[in-house]
């Protein structure tokens, strides 16, 4: 069973929600976890909840990086921060992957400083899953979008590598034998989107080890056309936040309508289970977190507002990725792609 | 008014009585559903399963007491009816566990007398049985009690310890048992049995097997005398600290968990760290156990990477030293238990 290092102090609701998530994993699964952070605070939370001590180790780390801290400065000053210590445990072989709900910039930088990049990978990518329409029975409900914020602007080579990494991840984790890969662009024509995107398009079209289906536009994101969508970090982050915002907006609008009109209220009551499913589908807590791809070790970055459920799901994702040999698959894809 | 509180004056190894609850403490009895409950009387001895680690633990408690020239006795108090006594006794024989006495609850009598509430109420039954047995022990005998978090063992054992220690006077016994809802006849019996007992702080430790994984914080109000443990390796570590087991016995319990229940060295190491963090083990004991178990190959070997350079016991020592400093090493005795508050809190939490 894999051992997952968990940054106990990262996130808006740390350490309580993080520790609760780990405790849940300890009683429900066979995954071993190392909780990294302030030992006495972690133990205080643990003692008041149901947990299995056999599957939890606590590694004391006296400092932590706040959500508002400048990543570069924080990593330079706080050498004993929980996120850094957790990353070191992974490189030392005491854990197989890292999960954090902490500062995203610091998480990416901690990977850069601590993990070794996969040979040949130029830039890391933060990948995220999102719900989409299903085109055929058995198709995965989730598509993979990368990069969503690790590399703000990209060159063509980097976009091609993201395609290779995303494709390898989907093959292993989503069990799609030949994931369909698309570039997110402002038009479907191969000449659209500027030099980097045009160049990436040509290279991906020639690539034999990627099932490239061409460009897709924003309105295609929610359809089941592609399994892996490639874009630069700036665009990906905007898209991701927009999807989250829209989901919240739909729920909010429904609530407002129900308060103002009894017919709406009645209608919503009838559709309650359907809305519940929709809410579950758009709930980030259900997906756990986004992997940072491109390093020899895996980091799963979960949402800053992660609850115990989200943390637990992120740990499950990390354990699954370790078990399925995601980093090996990515290394092999990059080697072949080169 | 409290009676005299004293530790028994002992020359040489003091006599000790180990009293065990049966279901969920010794036996992995499943009675979560009616179907499982109905199945129990029909189980054969070989069908009954002991909680992992409990058999080598009891065997070692006896054998090491004998080696030390200590008078040690093992008793079982079961809430099961005498009708299944044979199966249980055969199971204990099958496990090679020697004992000095076993008590069963006469449920048939409760049914005949129409006392159906007594069928499930254990406090009155167990407390009176413990008090009844006490005069048969040497006056200076200390007691170590083993129960679980399934029903009311923490309250029963703590109450018994405090009655022996003279921390609760007779008037209070009635009041506490009435709140719990004990049968008036059993309350009167408990008072009568408690009357002639000389005040002696005999209950040294109460071990609660966290079968339901009840959060340890819930037991804080019971004081340092009560130790909630998640497995019998943790219990063995504490018994080593108290001088009832040696390190070889701790290793035997740990090996049993590895062989029979799929425990790994990593999980044993985590268990050890947990009981130390909860301050039931001091640092000297923790290091001694770590070193010995590492030498026996029962604590994890360093995994690949930089940590290979340092032996595990040194890493554990480094970890112990790196932890935030505390003013006390292990839990200190608390003031007398307020049973009225404790019972209310316990009920609310359950």
ipTM of the complex: 0.84
Does one domain contain both A128 and A258? yes
Kindly determine whether residue B319 and residue A54, on different chains, have CB atoms separated by under 8 Å. Answer: no
A114 falls within a domain? yes
Does one domain contain both A144 and A277? yes
Nearest to B213 among A3, A51, A62 (CB): A51
Q: Is pLDDT of B81 > 70? A: yes
DSSP A174: I
Contacts of B305 in chain A (CB under 8 A): 91-94
Does one domain contain both A163 and A228? yes
Does one domain contain both A102 and A229? no
Does one domain contain both A114 and A130? no
Alpha-carbon distance A91 to nearest alpha carbon in chain B (angstroms): 7
* Coil, helix or strand at residue A240: helix
Nearest to A56 among B231, B270, B323 (CB): B270
Least confident of A117-121, A157-161, A189-193: A189-193
Does one domain contain both A145 and A172? yes
Q: Is pLDDT of A336 > 90? A: no
A88 falls within a domain? yes
Which residues make Cβ contacts (< 8 Å) with residue A310, sequence separation at least 6? Answer: A17, A21, A101, A284, A285, A286, A288, A289, A302, A303
pLDDT for position A221: 86
Does one domain contain both A209 and A94? no
Residue pLDDT, tens place only, B278-334: 999 999 999 999 999 999 988 875 444 444 445 566 666 666 666 555 444 566 555
A332 falls within a domain? no
Q: How many domains does chain A have?
A: 2
Kindly determine whether residue B277 and residue A39, on different chains, have CB atoms separated by under 8 Å. Answer: yes
Q: How many CB pairs under 8 A join A and B?
A: 68
Kindly determine whether residue A50 and residue B307, on different chains, have CB atoms separated by under 8 Å. Answer: no
Q: What percent of chain A has pLDDT over 70?
A: 96
Report yes or no: B315 at the A interface, CB cutoff 8 Å.
no
Nearest to B274 among A49, A53, A92 (CB): A53
Tokens of A9: 């102090």
A39 falls within a domain? yes
DSSP B310: S
Q: Which stretches of chain B are DSSP H helices? A: 34-39, 54-67, 85-95, 107-112, 117-120, 123-133, 153-165, 170-180, 184-194, 232-241, 247-261, 265-277, 283-295, 312-322, 339-349
Does one domain contain both A105 and A192? no
- Sign (positive/negative) of CA torsion B100, B104, B106, B108? negative
Which residue of chain B comes nearest to A35, CA vs CA?
B270
A329 falls within a domain? no
A331 falls within a domain? no
Which residues make Cβ contacts (< 8 Å) with residue B203, sequence separation at least 6? Answer: B142, B143, B144, B145, B157, B160, B161, B164, B165, B225
CB A59 within 8 Å of CB A85: yes
Q: How confident is the model at residue B339 (pLDDT cuts 50, 70, 90)?
A: confident
pLDDT for position A285: 66
Q: How far is CA A245 from CA B88, B134, B264, B335, in A?
A: 62, 69, 45, 54
Which residues make Cβ contacts (< 8 Å) with residue A194, sequence separation at least 6? Answer: none
pLDDT for position A31: 96
* Coil, helix or strand at residue B259: helix
Angle between helices B170-180 and B123-133 (to 10 degrees): 150
CATH number at residue A38: 3.40.718.10
Rounded to whole angstroms, the Cα distance separating A81 from A63 reads 4
Does one domain contain both A2 and A140? no
Alpha-carbon distance A217 to nearest alpha carbon in chain B (angstroms): 46
DSSP B70: -
The contact set of A with B (CB < 8 A) is 3, 27, 32, 38-40, 43, 47-60, 62, 91-94
pLDDT for position A310: 93
Rounded to whole angstroms, the Cα distance separating A321 from A2 reads 10
Does one domain contain both A225 and A84? no
Taking the CA atoms of residue B260, residue B266, residue B269 and residue B271 in that order, the dihedral angle to the nearest 10 degrees is -60
Nearest to A47 among B231, B278, B306 (CB): B278
Mutant choice from A38, A43, A53 vs B, greatest count of B C-beta within 10 A: A53
Does one domain contain both A211 and A101? no
Tokens of A276: 């519940």
Rounded to whole angstroms, the Cα distance separating B159 from B162 reads 5
Kindly determine whether residue A91 and residue B305, on different chains, have CB atoms separated by under 8 Å. Answer: yes
Q: How confident is the model at residue B4 (pLDDT cuts 50, 70, 90)?
A: very low
Contacts of A55 in chain B (CB under 8 A): 267, 270
Q: Is pLDDT of A95 > 90? A: yes
Angle between helices B153-165 and B170-180 (to 10 degrees): 170
Nearest to A60 among B231, B275, B323 (CB): B323
Does one domain contain both A243 and A112? no
Average pLDDT for residues B129-140, to the nearest whole number? 93
Contacts of A49 in chain B (CB under 8 A): 215
Rounded to whole angstroms, the Cα distance separating A296 from A96 reads 10
Kindly determine whether residue B266 and residue A91, on different chains, have CB atoms separated by under 8 Å. Answer: no
pLDDT for position B328: 43
A214 falls within a domain? yes
Least confident of A216-220, B4-8, B208-212: B4-8
Rounded to whole angstroms, the Cα distance separating A227 from B126 reads 64
Question: Which is nearest to A44 in space by CA: A34, A58, A65, A55?
Answer: A58
**Residue A251 structural domain:** 122-288
Average pLDDT for residues B137-141, to the nearest whole number? 91
Question: Which is nearest to B92 in space by CA: B84, B65, B242, B341?
Answer: B84
Rounded to whole angstroms, the Cα distance separating A98 from A83 reads 9
pLDDT for position B319: 65
Among A271, A288, A305, give the residue marking a domain's end. Answer: A288
pLDDT: is B43 or B263 the higher one? B263
Contacts of B275 in chain A (CB under 8 A): 53
Q: What percent of chain A has pLDDT over 90?
A: 66
Phi and psi at residue B102, in whole multiples of 5°?
Answer: -145, 135
A337 falls within a domain? no
pLDDT for position B120: 72
CB B77 within 8 Å of CB B104: no
Residue pLDDT, tens place only, A234-289: 999 999 888 878 877 877 887 787 778 888 888 877 777 776 666 666 666 666 78
pLDDT: is B35 or A17 the higher one? A17
pLDDT for position A261: 80
Which residues 276-295 in chain B show a CB within 8 A of chain A?
Answer: 277-278
């Amino acid at each position: 069973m894999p051992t997952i290092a968990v940054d106990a102090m990262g996130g808006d609701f740390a350490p309580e929600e993080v520790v609760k998530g780990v405790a849940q994993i300890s009683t429900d699964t066979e995954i071993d976890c190392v909780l990294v952070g302030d030992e006495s605070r972690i133990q205080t939370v643990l003692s008041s909840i149901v947990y299995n001590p056999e599957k939890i180790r606590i590694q004391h780390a006296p400092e932590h990086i706040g959500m508002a801290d400048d990543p570069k400065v924080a990593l330079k000053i706080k050498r004993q921060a929980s996120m850094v210590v957790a990353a070191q445990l992974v490189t030392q072989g005491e854990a197989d992957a890292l999960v954090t709900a902490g500062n995203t910039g610091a998480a990416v930088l901690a990977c850069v400083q601590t993990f070794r990049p996969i040979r040949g990978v130029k830039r890391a990518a933060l990948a995220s899953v999102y719900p989409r329409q299903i085109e055929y029975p058995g198709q995965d409900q989730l598509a993979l979008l990368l990069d969503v914020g690790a590399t703000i602007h990209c060159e063509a080579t980097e976009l091609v590598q993201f395609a290779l990494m995303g494709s390898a991840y989907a093959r292993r984790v989503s069990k799609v034998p030949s994931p369909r890969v698309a570039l997110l662009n402002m038009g479907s024509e191969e000449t659209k989107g500027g030099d980097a995107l045009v160049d990436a398009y040509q290279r991906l079209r020639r690539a034999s080890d990627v099932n490239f289906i061409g460009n897709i536009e924003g309105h295609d994101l929610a359809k089941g056309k592609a399994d892996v969508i490639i874009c630069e970090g700036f665009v990906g982050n905007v898209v991701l936040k927009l999807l989250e915002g829209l989901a919240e907006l739909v729920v909010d609008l429904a609530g407002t309508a129900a308060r103002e009109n009894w017919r709406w209220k009645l209608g919503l009551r009838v559709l309650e289970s359907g809305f519940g499913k929709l809410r579950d589908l758009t709930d980030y807590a259900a997906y756990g977190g986004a992997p940072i791809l491109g390093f020899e070790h895996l980091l799963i970055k979960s949402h800053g507002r992660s609850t115990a459920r989200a943390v637990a799901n992120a740990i499950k994702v990390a354990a699954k990725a370790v078990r399925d040999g995601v980093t090996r698959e990515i290394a092999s894809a990059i080697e072949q792609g080169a | 008014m409290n009676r005299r509180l004293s530790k028994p004056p002992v020359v040489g190894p003091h006599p000790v009585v180990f009293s065990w609850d049966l279901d969920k403490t010794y036996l992995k009895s499943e009675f979560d559903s009616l179907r499982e409950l109905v199945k129990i009387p029909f189980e054969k001895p070989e069908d009954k399963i002991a909680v992992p680690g409990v058999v080598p633990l009891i065997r070692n408690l006896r054998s090491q007491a004998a080696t030390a020239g200590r008078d040690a006795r093992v008793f079982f108090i079961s809430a099961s009816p005498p009708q299944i006594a044979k199966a249980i006794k055969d199971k204990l024989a099958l496990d090679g566990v020697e004992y000095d006495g076993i008590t069963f609850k006469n449920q048939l009598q409760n049914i005949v007398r129409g006392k159906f509430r007594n069928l499930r109420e254990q406090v009155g039954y167990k407390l009176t049985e413990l008090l009844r047995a006490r005069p048969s022990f040497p006056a200076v005998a200390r007691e170590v009690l083993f129960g679980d978090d399934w029903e009311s063992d923490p309250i029963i054992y703590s109450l018994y310890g405090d009655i022996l220690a003279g921390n609760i006077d007779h008037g209070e016994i009635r009041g506490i048992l009435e709140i719990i809802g004990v049968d008036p006849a059993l309350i009167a019996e408990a008072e009568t049995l408690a009357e002639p007992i000389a005040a002696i702080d005999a209950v040294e430790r109460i071990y609660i097997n966290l079968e339901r994984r009840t959060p340890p914080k819930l037991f804080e109000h019971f004081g340092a005398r009560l130790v909630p443990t998640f497995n019998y390796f943790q219990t063995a570590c504490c018994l080593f600290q108290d001088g009832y087991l040696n390190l070889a016995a701790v290793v035997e319990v740990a090996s049993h968990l590895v062989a029979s229940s799929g425990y790994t060295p990593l999980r044993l190491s985590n268990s050890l760290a947990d009981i130390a963090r909860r301050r039931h083990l001091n640092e000297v004991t923790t290091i001694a156990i770590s070193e010995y178990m590492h030498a026996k190959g029962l604590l994890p070997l360093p995994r690949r990477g930089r940590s290979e350079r340092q032996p595990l016991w040194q890493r554990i020592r480094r970890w112990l030293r790196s932890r935030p400093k505390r003013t006390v090493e292990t839990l200190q005795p608390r003031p007398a238990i307020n049973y009225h508050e404790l019972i209310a809190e316990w009920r609310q939490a359950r």
